[in-house]
Chain A
Amino acid sequence: MSDVVGIVRLTDGLRVKDSADEGPSPPLRVVIERAQAGDTAAFDRLIIIHQRKVVSTAWRVLGNQEDAMDAAQEVFIKLHRYLHTFRTDQDFNAWLYRLIINACHDTRKRRPRHISLEEERERGNLDHLRSSDDVEASAMVSQDETIIAAALETLSPKEKAALVLRDLEGLTTEEVAKILGSSATTVRSQICSARAKIKTYRDRVLRGNDK
């Protein structure tokens, strides 16, 4: 049951009603307008509403929690700085995703890291996947998560951003294109390439486990 709640919060995290522990909430538009007027309590509420979404997206894009937390802080600093330029008839969801992707890009530039499959093996991060205990279902999920986290690191920043927004955040190709400032055709090409790379990486790891 808790898993179901988790999925709902991930996919619809931008809806105010998702922060159920905060009680009845005013519409997001009202919260934004109050925050724009300088109401710090409203801005804090804006953070609370979106923090889980921002951190998980940044984590998926950057591949580690430390960078994701830094990027998330940067997102909210930028949100505070530029919230006055947001028009309430715009799509806040898309606006926030654009901030997240830009913050991830800046964080990656500050601390570049690109880990290949071979490097992962050298560091021993994939060794546990060869354990015979992997037959259990829970271990399988953990195994997939680890493989996917490593596989995402093999993608280019643009491929990763497109794949995370399309496949993990559940946006449409057109929405992703708008957020990334490119065409839908380009995004389709990027996610096609990214999915193929993820599959190839996963196949190689699983084949290695079978040996």
Chain B
Amino acid sequence: MTTQVTTIDCEFVRKLVPLHVEGDLRPRHATPLRAHLDGCVACRELQEQFRQSQRALRTYRPEATGDELDEMRRGVWRRLDNQTGPSPLWLQIERAMAWLRYWAAKPSVAVATVVLVSIGSFALSRLGGFGARSVLTAERAPAQAGQAGMDPASPPEHLADRMVLAQAEEEEFEGVEGDGDSELEAADDHLRIEIQTGDPDVRIIWFSPQDKAGSVEN
């Protein structure tokens, strides 16, 4: 919100009168300046001097003759004839860049682009980010249902759609089986399922009966 300047002094007028003489002053300054000029002879005289100066400025109209312009034009064509232009491919690239610059300068397009890029980045971080950080492994594990404090047969529902099912390769099972852990070797009736969440310090573990885990493996 702009405030209307109510009174101004001669010093202020001296600064603004160069703009006032050509109507370049904003209304909030023009109105009080006109009021000041009505009552100040010295400032009116200054305004008149600026008007004379502006009139003199407009007398400066240098113009070349027709022959001089023709000579200039011939010079342009001589230079154009002597130079080789860029390749058509380069011209296409320049045209595309100009098109991009033209649209990028429009605020609505710029805002729409920022919104789309933001949405895209967010979507990618939600999908790609979880997949990169999470690990699901299915291992043969002892029957320690309840160790993680959850129903071993059913993973949390809100995580189910975010699980990336790793292909449980046969070698992995064998590697687990051959690590010398007697408890693991003895417990063939359950699958141990681990999910690494986005937080590296939080891992969800649950145990599933062998018959249900079989569907996971497939």
B-binding residues in A (CB < 8 A): 6, 10, 44, 47-48, 51-52, 55-56, 59-60, 65, 68-69, 72-73, 76-77, 80-82, 84-87, 90, 141, 144-145, 147-149, 152, 163, 166-168, 173, 188, 191-193, 195-196, 198-199, 202-203
A56 touches B56 (CB 8 A): no
B24 within 8 A of partner (CB): yes
In Å, the complex CA distance between A108 and B53 comes to: 26
Given A148-B59, A195-B54, are A52 and B69 neighbors across the interface (CB < 8 Å)?
yes
In Å, the complex CA distance between A147 and B58 comes to: 12
Nearest neighbor of A152 in chain B, beta-carbon distance: B60
- Which one of B3-11, B94-102, B131-139, B193-201 is at the interface? B94-102
Given A48-B73, A51-B73, A192-B18, are A87 and B98 neighbors across the interface (CB < 8 Å)?
yes
Residues of B contacting A193 in the complex (Cβ-Cβ under 8 angstroms):
18
Residues of B contacting A85 in the complex (Cβ-Cβ under 8 angstroms):
94-95, 97-98
Question: Would you give the 0/1 interface string for B57-93, flagging 1 where the beta carbon is closer than 8 Å to chain A?
Answer: 1111111100011001101110110000100000100
* Chain A at the B interface: SS class: helix
In Å, the complex CA distance between A81 and B24 comes to: 36
In Å, the complex CA distance between A152 and B203 comes to: 76
B57 touches A148 (CB 8 A): yes
Residues of B contacting A72 in the complex (Cβ-Cβ under 8 angstroms):
72
B76 touches A84 (CB 8 A): no
B22 touches A167 (CB 8 A): yes
**Pairs A–B under 8 Å by Cβ, sample size 9:** A68-B62, A69-B72, A80-B80, A85-B97, A144-B56, A188-B24, A195-B18, A195-B57, A199-B50
